[in-house]
Structure 1
Amino acid sequence: MSIHRITVVGAGYVGLTTGACLASFGHRVVCADVDAGKIARLRAGKVDILEAGLPELVAAGLAAGTLAFEVGAAAAVQDAEAVFLCVPTPMAADGTADLSAVASVAAELGALLPAGCVVVNKSTVPVGTAEWVRRLLGRDDVAVVSNPEFLREGSAVHDFLHPDRIVVGSADEPAARRIAELYSPLRAPVVCTNAASAELIKYAANCFLAVKLSYVNAVAELCETFGAEIDAVTAGMGHDPRIGQAFLRPGPGWGGPCLPKDASALLRLAEGRGVRFDLLQAAVDDNARQSRRVVRRLADELGKPLDGARIGLLGLAFKPGTNDLRGSPALQVAELLADAGAEVVAHDPAVHRELPRITVVGDAYLAVKEVDAVLLVTEWPQFRELDWPAVADLMDGGLVFDARNHLDPAVLERSGLRWRGIGRQAAA
């Protein structure tokens, strides 16, 4: 494998993970970001992002001299052979992907890129963005490649180093092959295609997972109606290799920084081309009611109005292993509880900031003290290890509503608590 000079624009969880992992292969990588404070901390080896293995990779890259950090992209691209764009593409007010950061970087770098450089769209972007970026750059001697990321927050390093596939797409096939070669130490399957296909692969994959999650939440509701057990149903489904076990866990709805915005963006893309995507729209609509369903079931199990009730909320991040609150179902549930007049006291092992309408405490036992009910919404492993008899003593009420089916019902029942879950019956 040849050693290449790579610039990564954007030092968020995708950019920093990409840069640190490519540096671990021996490539010379410079990560650039507009946040001078973040760059100063990274130069000192301090990683703000909660990602397993990432601080160690950054430290190793700094020590080996394969990883460096710069404020602003202009100073980092002058001798780059590949420039990865890892900038935010959040959901705009109209539901489309906001490409203003991509446009800003392309306008800034167009005249600065060395001849023969390859610009790589790593961010999740709509179909047609590679061609749009090529026009913005205004450079016939610079190729643009789509190379979407498939990283899960909390396991981004593992996902980068153990990928299911590498996707690269471009009208310039040699440029696409050059980018694919950067990943050669991984020995993963490579899908080399045109840019439009590569861009659509990312949206199609994420939106399929969103549909699957909405489907299993609907099946869980059926289980509650018929007295079936969702764990048995999904086990029976998941043994079918055409379905698989992944993404068959019910919960309070799917969220996070990716699935909601990607579903919205793909729907807007389809709409713009006159293509009906009713299946995806139905999945989005169904997901919107899941947080309301959880709150309604909590009220039903509590047997009294939520107005004036004190609820202990376990979990705030959108998933365990991260401190990211973007699109978190837990926050949606907390807002609905507050709207209903409940007092919400919350604890999350990775979230230590003040939040509106929620009292955030630094200890799970403080979150359950004198509450009418406990509601688990993020499946941190630490919550399974709580001293549940002690929790029972601290609570005023005895209801634990487990919106992730994460806890052991038998343990809670032996502790004198009343466990309720999603798509499951109470412990015998």
Structure 2
Amino acid sequence: MFVRRIAVVGTGYVGLTTGACLASLGHDVVCADVDAAKVERLRRGEIDILEPGLAELVAEGMAAGRLTFVLGATSAMRHTAEGPEVMFLCVPTPMGVGGVADLSIVEAVVEEVRELLPPGCVVVNKSTVPVGTAERTAELLGRDDVAVVSNPEFLREGSAVYDFLNPDRIVVGGSQQDAAERVAALYARLGAPTVLTDAPSAELVKYAANCFLAMKLSYVNAVAELCDRLGADITDVTEGMGYDKRIGQAFLQPGPGWGGSCLPKDTSAMLQLADAADFEFRLIRATIDTNTRQRQRMVEKVRLAVTGKRGGSLSHKRIALFGLTFKAGTDDLRDSPALAVAALLRQAGADLVGYDPALRPDNPHPDLTGVTVVDDPYLAAKDAEAVVVLTEWPEFRSLDWSRLAESVSRPTVIDTRNLLDPAVARRGGFEWIGIGKS
């Protein structure tokens, strides 16, 4: 294979995974970040994010001399005399005013490296960006000898390394076919189906895929509510649906709503794209509205379980929250549905004590304001009026529910993930309340 000189700007979930995995494929990679302390930690092999296999890949790449960390995009351009052949932009594109993606960091990096890029270099937008960003990037560069392509990422937090090395597909879009083919060739060893297209189509693929997944999740949560009302079992319903190859088993698990760093941002951005095109995307709007309702519905379940009334008061009721991250296997709190439910419970006057395997009480986070975080689930449950399972950490299944029943004020568990074995919880003395369960 051809070994390429690659620069990756940004060392978050996407950037660090991209850099480490490309190095594992044999390329020479330099990763840049503006956080000096973070760069020093990475040079020592210290990884800030919880991502299985990532620390090992970083260590292997550094030991082989194929992975280097530098401070700032300018340093990445000057890391070798020849400069990079490909530069990946993996910087944050947070939700801005009105749901529009904020491209200020992308544009700042482009302006910084514009004069430093060697002729023939390919600039790759890896971050999730609105349709038209590749064209905008090319305009900012103002370089006819530098191509811009879109190569969206499809990485799930908690399995990002696996997803990168075992992709369902590689999507590359650009106006210059040879540049798109050069970027696609970086992944040749992975043997994945490759879609070569124009930049707008590649940019839209990521939004379209994530919005579809969000719709699927909102749909199954709505069906779960219907199951609650009709006395049906959502597990059996989704099993029956999932065997249909047109539907599949994935994303059919009900929960407290969807969240994380991608789906909320991308559904809002899709609405903005549609509005700009004078198209009313009612499906996406209904998807978001259904998700908001799902979080409120979880609070209604807690009210009913604790007070016996849907509108009962939770004022000064102690509630134990099991799980605070947006999903198991990560320490990411961004747009966590668990925290959204916690905020609603707090507004209702509840006293909240939370436990999450990925969080430490001595490392406070602003998103956890109003939640007392402890490092022991049994301590979290002490004197609680209810235990609410909000994140699907497998270890919650193996807790001693008899011991928990002795600690709580009221042995009731609201399992918003249908994670637990109801029989085990009930044998422990708990009333188990699930989602979409008769």
What TM-score bracket applies, with the shorter chain setting the length? over 0.9
Q: CA RMSD in A?
A: 0.7
Could you tell me how far apart the structure 1 residues matched to 2:218 and 2:343 are?
21
Could you tell me how far apart the structure 2 residues matched to 1:89 and 1:116 are?
26
What's 1:16 paired with? 16
Could you tell me how far apart the structure 2 residues matched to 1:305 and 1:94 are?
34
One-letter identity of the residue aligned with 1:86: C
What's 1:346 paired with? 354
SS in 1 for 2:123: strand
Structure 1 residue runs of 5 or longer lacking an equivalent are: none
Match of 2:319 among 311, 322, 329: 311
Could you tell me how far apart the structure 1 residues matched to 2:372 and 2:97 are?
29
Match of 1:172 among 172, 176, 183: 176
Match of 2:200 among 191, 196, 207: 196
Counterpart check, 1:109 vs 2:113: yes
Could you tell me how far apart the structure 1 residues matched to 2:39 and 2:151 are?
25
Counterpart check, 1:75 vs 2:75: yes
What's 2:162 paired with? 158
Once the two structures are superposed, the pairs formed by residues 224-263 of structure 1 within 5 Å of their partners are 224-263=228-267
What's 1:327 paired with? 335
Deviation of residue 305 (structure 1)? 2.5
| CA deviation vs aligned residue, 1:74-97 (integer Å, no higher than 9, x gap) | 111241000000000010021100
Q: Number of residue pairs matched?
A: 425
Counterpart check, 1:298 vs 2:306: no
What's 1:281 paired with? 285
Could you tell me how far apart the structure 2 residues matched to 1:94 and 1:278 are?
17
What's 1:401 paired with? 414
Could you tell me how far apart the structure 2 residues matched to 1:281 and 1:333 are?
20
SS in 2 for 1:299: helix
| CA deviation vs aligned residue, 1:4-44 (integer Å, no higher than 9, x gap) | 10000000010000000000011000000000000000000
Q: Detail structure 1 runs of 4+ shifted over 3 Å in the superposition.
A: none
| CA deviation vs aligned residue, 1:56-86 (integer Å, no higher than 9, x gap) | 0000011000000000001112410000000
Deviation of residue 297 (structure 1)? 1.1
Could you tell me how far apart the structure 1 residues matched to 2:425 and 2:338 are?
22
| CA deviation vs aligned residue, 1:144-198 (integer Å, no higher than 9, x gap) | 0100000000100000000000000000010000000000110000001000000
Deviation of residue 291 (structure 1)? 1.0
Deviation of residue 222 (structure 1)? 0.3
What's 1:423 paired with? 436
SS in 1 for 2:108: helix
SS in 1 for 2:98: coil
What's 2:269 paired with? 265
Deviation of residue 396 (structure 1)? 1.0
One-letter identity of the residue aligned with 1:324: D
SS in 1 for 2:37: helix
Could you tell me how far apart the structure 2 residues matched to 1:378 and 1:421 are?
13
Could you tell me how far apart the structure 1 residues matched to 2:277 and 2:176 are?
26
TM-score (norm 2): 0.96
Could you tell me how far apart the structure 1 residues matched to 2:25 and 2:226 are?
49
One-letter identity of the residue aligned with 1:189: P
Could you tell me how far apart the structure 1 residues matched to 2:428 and 2:329 are?
27
What's 1:337 paired with? 345
Could you tell me how far apart the structure 1 residues matched to 2:398 and 2:143 are?
57
Could you tell me how far apart the structure 2 residues matched to 1:412 and 1:265 are?
41
Could you tell me how far apart the structure 2 residues matched to 1:217 and 1:393 are?
32
One-letter identity of the residue aligned with 2:117: L
Deviation of residue 357 (structure 1)? 0.6
One-letter identity of the residue aligned with 1:17: T
One-letter identity of the residue aligned with 1:347: Y
One-letter identity of the residue aligned with 2:137: V
Could you tell me how far apart the structure 1 residues matched to 2:398 and 2:177 are?
52
Counterpart check, 1:53 vs 2:53: yes
Counterpart check, 1:85 vs 2:93: no
SS in 2 for 1:94: helix
Deviation of residue 398 (structure 1)? 1.0
SS in 1 for 2:128: coil
TM-score (norm 1): 0.98
Match of 1:375 among 372, 388, 392: 388
Could you tell me how far apart the structure 2 residues matched to 1:13 and 1:256 are?
12
One-letter identity of the residue aligned with 2:34: V
Could you tell me how far apart the structure 1 residues matched to 2:133 and 2:149 are?
10
Structure 2 residue runs of 5 or longer lacking an equivalent are: none
| CA deviation vs aligned residue, 1:282-318 (integer Å, no higher than 9, x gap) | 0011111111110011111222521121000000000
SS in 2 for 1:371: coil
Could you tell me how far apart the structure 2 residues matched to 1:175 and 1:120 are?
10
What's 1:412 paired with? 425
Counting aligned pairs with the same residue, the percent is: 62
